[in-house]
Amino acid sequence: MSLDATLSRIDADLPQAMDRLMELLRIPSISTDPAYKADCDRAADWLVADLASFGIQAEKRPTPGHPMVVGHVEGDGPHVLFYGHYDVQPVDPLELWDRDPFDPAIEDTAKGRVIRARGASDDKGQLMTFVEACRAWKDVHGSFPCKITFFFEGEEESGSPSLIPFLQENAEELKADIALICDTGLFESRTPSIMTQLRGLCGEEIVLTGANKDLHSGMFGGAGQNPIRVLSRILGNLHDDQGHIQVPDFYDGVPELSREMKSQWEGLNFDHEAFLGEVGLCHPAGEQDRTALEMLWSRPTAEINGMIGGYTGDGFKTVLPAQARAKVSFRLVGQQDPHKIRENFRAWVEAQLPADVSAEFHAHGASPASQMSTDHPAFEQARSVLGAEWGHEAAFTGCGGSIPVAGYFKSMLGMDTMLVGWAKDDDQIHSPNEKYDVESFHKGIRSWARILDAIR
């Protein structure tokens, strides 16, 4: 039977597919909050039952945290592993939502119909595009296009503490020819993209301590060290006037873009003014000798994510605080070593401390960047068929974010990952009023059918 028959089945079954997604979205599977542990279990059970409903041998696997869902089907051709996550971000601040985050609804907007709910885009809607493509294929053909392993996690939004041990313990079962992940988006909300590189991440919290208590600024100001002033000065030195990061050896392992990739990115005609304009900005603030797209996808960053110290309540309190804190994150590329970055950053901070001020540091995660080899034929096969669905030729792109599981699949299971997603820039993931376009859900299902047809 032809691909057209599968696509027609997807079109006809869209209302039922939407109903199934709504059921999953109603489950408040917030992984970071222990109060929702039972709901995370319920989401895993729902997925097991849904996969089983069309012939997939699936089961819920316990972990020290939230369970994994693993399912298998046999088939000819390549063996693919599809990964997604069923947990979602917290909904706070709840008062900024226009409706109950776990009472999903279809809404008409100026840009088309959308599914409004927490997890609609990240990642339940995306996950279900692949599941629904497999369901339609099975309904039409009576079998699956290839050997498939389904692997769904329940802790992605809380740091995946159970993931590495689970991969280690089940490596032989989970190994495949290639992994597929649907947790990314369209380029500028219209062009299908296959992400071939993801930035790594290193998080660091700094605590500077001066006096043994807060001091009266009239009695001690000028004579006593102020940790906020010290911390502000040090972090102000993090970048030079051209946006280059000043931590020693920071750029070790940072590669230059290949000529082919740079040409492909230039062909995307990225409008950085429009990109920044949507959030009230105008000018790229990073390395001034790089394009905005290079900054976002292929260059490392150092960002101050928060600072606090002293009195920050209403009114005024004239104190020299005993402590000042900051959270700093580094997005990493290429072969940068997150542990070496952390070590060098701490030494750089300590070298700038004056007398009477000490520093302590708290690590908040460290994962290297991921670079996908496009040598596997699935990459070009997928790129060649997506244009027919979206009306724009697909491109190999980078990603400013971090999806550590892709790196773990490479380092622990020896397989590359193809990241393809249908989210749009305005989906408001992790924010109030998250949505997923009905078009993204519908075309996403059809796109996976096209990809499976191409790679089988």
200-254+300-367 CATH, one of 3.40.50.300, 1.10.10.60, 3.30.559.10, 3.30.70.360: 3.30.70.360
**Rounded-to-integer distance, Cα 430 and Cα 86, Å:** 14
Tokens 């039952």 correspond to what residue? 49
Which structure tokens are listed for 415?
A: 């397989």
**Rounded-to-integer distance, Cα 43 and Cα 87, Å:** 8
Domain boundaries, the chain: 3-198+369-455, 200-254+300-367
- At residue 171, what is the residue type? A
Pick from 84, 57, 78: which is nearest to 145 by CA? Answer: 78
In sequence order, the β-bridge partners of residue 362 are 205
**Rounded-to-integer distance, Cα 225 and Cα 408, Å:** 45
**Rounded-to-integer distance, Cα 296 and Cα 88, Å:** 25
Q: Could you please report the per-residue DSSP string of 12-33? A: HTHHHHHHHHHHHHTS--BTT-
Domain 3-198+369-455 has CATH 3.40.190.170: no
In sequence order, the β-bridge partners of residue 324 are 208, 309
Query: pLDDT tens string for the chain (456 positions)?
Result: 689 999 999 999 999 999 999 999 999 999 999 999 999 999 999 999 999 999 999 999 999 999 999 999 999 999 999 999 999 999 999 999 999 999 999 999 999 999 999 999 999 999 999 999 999 999 999 999 999 999 999 999 998 999 999 999 999 999 999 999 999 999 989 999 999 888 999 999 999 999 999 999 999 999 999 999 999 999 999 999 999 999 999 999 999 988 888 888 988 889 999 989 988 999 999 999 999 999 999 999 999 999 999 999 999 999 999 999 999 999 999 999 999 999 999 999 999 999 999 999 999 988 889 888 888 999 999 999 999 999 999 999 988 887 889 989 999 999 999 999 999 999 999 999 999 999 999 999 999 999 999 999
Torsion angles phi and psi, residue 308, rounded to 5:
-155, 150
**Whole-structure pTM value:** 0.84
**Rounded-to-integer distance, Cα 446 and Cα 453, Å:** 11
